[in-house]
Amino acid sequence: MHYPYIRFLEETGIQLKFFSVCWKTKAFNRSLIRWGNSNPRYLKIWFKIGTYVTFVLLPFSLVLLLYSILVNFSSTDSGSSQFVLQPVLPGINLPASELAYYSLTLILCTVVHELGHAIAAVLYDVNIIDVGANIVFVLPFAYVNLCTERFLALRPTHTLKILCAGVWHNIVLSVVALLLYFMLPTLFSVFFHLNSGVAITEIAKNSHLAGSKGLNIGDTVFQINECDVRDENSWYKCLAQTDILKPAFCIEPDLIHQYDESIPLKHIGEGHIECCESNKKENVCFEYLDPADGILELPSHVCLPARRVVERSEHFCSSTPYICPTNLYCFRPILANSTNLFKISTETKDVIYLGLVSDLYRTIHVSSYIPKYFFKTPTLPDAVTKFLKYVTIMSLGLAIINVLPCKFMDGQYITEMLALILFKSHFGESNVKLATSVVNVLFTIIIVCYCVYSLSKSLL
């Protein structure tokens, strides 16, 4: 009854296991043998360089692991703003919406990694049995199966070159992806404007900034308050700056005389002051910032409609000494908690928003690429940019993790082989293997504990 199904699995090399799908084939063996024998002289130089680079990476990886552990245990933000090793899993500390990027990157990185092992193995006359791929849960990765007898019979230096080839290829892939990432603005400059603002690509349905008077998909933002927005990075820098440096506006006295509806000052706790009636939701209490600390020419606090103030104000005075042009005076809104007043300048209008900086972080997505012609949206450059970011970070991360002395990683065999070359004549083969086994087990426990702690910290 199930014979056609079983036969299909056998012919295709697919195996179904608990929470995993395995696939293996010999279809690529001939191609790999041809590549490995194509330019042996240059390939030997290539893998020799890779071995030296891997040796340099090994102590760096150990130091980085220890530093990451210290940062993670001593801080509350999981070291997100620092260069540390951080385990990632979709849905936990990686957006589930980016699973496609994560999976494609993992496939590419592991294929390039195993390709390094395979070509190096062919170069040093180690037979390739087959190649394949596994999908464990939702995470894909590739592998190459080598002839163990031939591999163990190699000279230690040749064995090291095969072991280091995967790490070396991941480093090269990371560098290539990084170079392409920096070249993207030039490559896409024909079809997109760059360094002239950001394009709004997505607005969450629950965003308070959406609507006819708010932001719309396709709008180009070039300024937030007095901070110039040139690209996606400057967009986030401006948001961070606005959260730290509260905006202040240069106001003409006529506007104050015309719209001021202030009441006697009220202290509402935690040092906050209110000078507006609670039923006037559109009004905000403004504090006069006198640059000279002299005689006040205007009331110290005024109650004005926030939208009218921002629309009429063309100058900011957020930083000391709060200087404004002639006949204009500096006023700063008094806002509770983390609330802020934004003037978001677009090509068609100024959007006035009274709310939290986090609202812009969470509900507005932007792109550095503003379409010129042919493309209506920056979807393509954004997707390529994000993919190259993933490849750069994950390929380098795989290289760093793989070189560590840990069970099931290349580093387990690299450290053992390196230790045998250096210390076998002094301490004997069995003692060296025992010592490296202890080191491998120790670092395996450390890495597993660190990953569990780091991921559990992300869930809290």
> Do 361 and 393 sit in the same domain of this protein?
no
- At 145 the three-state DSSP class reads strand
For 192-241, the pLDDT digits (tens) are 999 889 999 999 888 888 887 889 898 999 999 889 999 999 999 999 88
Instruction: Determine, yes or no, domain membership for 140.
Output: yes
Residue 34 lies in domain? 18-186+384-459
Instruction: Determine, yes or no, domain membership for 235.
Output: yes
Alpha carbon distance 455, 84 (integer Å): 14
The secondary structure element, H or E, covering residue 418 is helix 410-427
Give the total number of structural domains in the chain. Answer: 2
For 317-360, the pLDDT digits (tens) are 888 888 888 888 899 998 877 788 889 999 888 899 888 888 88
Closest CA to 384 of 181, 196, 174, 106: 181
Q: Where are the alpha helices (DSSP H) in 245-327?
A: 253-259, 306-312
- For residue 371, CA distances in Å to 196, 212, 346, 347, 378 come to 11, 22, 15, 14, 6
Work out the number of other CB atoms within 10 angstroms of the CB of residue 352.
17
> Do 327 and 442 sit in the same domain of this protein?
no
Instruction: Determine, yes or no, domain membership for 13.
Output: no
Instruction: Determine, yes or no, domain membership for 379.
Output: no
- At 456 the three-state DSSP class reads helix
Tally: H helices and E strands in the chain? 13, 18
Structure tokens that stand for 410 in this block? 């290349």
Q: What is the CA radius of gyration of the chain?
A: 30
Question: Which band of pLDDT confidence, cut at 50, 70 and 90, is reported for residue 270?
Answer: low
Structure-token match 């040796």, residue found: 55
Kindly report the pTM of this predicted structure. 0.84
Residues 6+ apart with CB under 8 A from 403: 54, 57, 58, 61, 167, 409, 410, 411, 414
> Do 35 and 166 sit in the same domain of this protein?
yes
For 392-401, the pLDDT digits (tens) are 999 999 999 9
> Do 202 and 110 sit in the same domain of this protein?
no
For 69-104, the pLDDT digits (tens) are 998 888 765 545 578 888 888 777 788 888 889 989
